[in-house]
Amino acid sequence: MKKKQDILIQLAFIVFCGICWQLYAKSRNVMGFPPLDVIFAKLIDCFTNERRPILLYLLRSIVAIVKGLGAGAILALLFSSLSIISRVFGLLYNLLVSVFDLLPGVALLPILMITVGANDTSILILVIHSVLWPMSRSLIDGFRTTPKIYLESGQNIGLTAAGLIFGVYIPASFASILSGIKVGWARAWRGLISAEMIFGAAQSAGIGVFINNARTVWIDYPAVYAALILVILVGVIVEYGIFQQIEKRTVKKWGMVR
C-alpha cells in the first residue's frame, strides 16, 4: 500500500510539472520552449521518420555505453582486487583513484581529440574513465569493510587469494559494488551524451549527435526535447528496471540494506 502511494505521489508531481510546462509554453510562445503536445508529436515523428531515425541514434549510444560500462567494471574489479592482494599496488592505485576520480570526463575531451581524434575510441575511453574510478572507490571501500571473521574463515578452509576475492570480499561488499556501478553508470551516460554533442559527429553517431544536429543543423527545437525525453527514459528504465530489481533480489533480500 505504501509503495503504491509513493508511486502516486511521484506521478502527481510529474503531472503537475507537465501542466506548468504546458501553460507556460502556451502563454510565452517561445520557439526554443515548445509545448509538450508539440514535443510528443515530434517524438512520434522521430520514431517514424526514415531520414532521422532517432531509435538508431539511441541504439548506437546504448551499444557504446554497454561496451564502456562492461570494460570499466572489469578493470575496476581487477585493479581493486590487486590492490587488496598487493600492498604496494594498493598504495599506488589508491593514489590514482584519488586523482582521476576528481577529474571530470568532459575535461579529458580536448586531450582525447588531440591524441586519439573525435571518434568512437575517444568516446569509449571517456566512458571507461567515468566508470572505472568511482566503481574502484566503492569496491576498495567495500573490501576494506569486510568483517575480519569472514576472512579468517576463508583462510581456515584454505581459500587462495583469488578464492578470498570471489568467495569472501565480493559477496560481503556487494552493496558497495552495486552502488559503485550505479554511480559509474550515471557518470558514463552523462559523459557519453556530452562527448557526442561536443564532437558533433562520430563514426557511430549516437543520441548526442542527434541532439546537436537538431539544434544546429536542422534547427528543430522540439526534436531536441524529444531526444532529451528518450535520454531520461533510458536512465529511468536502467535505474528502476535493472538496478532496483537487482538490489531487491540481492542486498535487500539479504538484509544488507533497508
Query: 228: Cβ–Cβ under 8 A, 6 or more apart, which residues?
Result: 211
Is residue 166 very low, low, confident or very high in pLDDT (cuts 50, 70, 90)?
confident
* Pairwise CA distance, residues 140 & 117, whole Å: 33
The topology (CATH level 3) of 53-249 is MetI-like fold (1.10.3720)
Question: Is residue 217 within 8 Å of 234, Cβ to Cβ?
Answer: no
pLDDT at 160: 83
pLDDT at 168: 87
How confident is the model over 189-233, as pLDDT tens digits? 988 888 888 876 555 678 988 998 888 888 889 999 999 999 999
Residue-wise burial string across 118-138, b where 16 or more C-beta atoms lie within 10 A, e elsewhere: bebebbbbbbbbbbbbbbbbb
Strands (E), 112-216: none
pLDDT at 204: 64
How confident is the model over 112-121, as pLDDT tens digits? 888 888 788 8
* Pairwise CA distance, residues 234 & 168, whole Å: 33
Mean pLDDT taken over the chain: 87
Cell of 147: 568483517
Question: Is residue 181 within 8 Å of 76, Cβ to Cβ?
Answer: no
Q: Is the pLDDT of residue 12 over 90?
A: yes
pLDDT at 38: 92
Is residue 142 very low, low, confident or very high in pLDDT (cuts 50, 70, 90)?
confident
Return the SS3 of 46: helix
Spans of all domains in the chain: 53-249
How confident is the model over 36-89, as pLDDT tens digits? 999 999 999 888 877 778 999 999 999 999 999 999 999 999 999 999 888 999
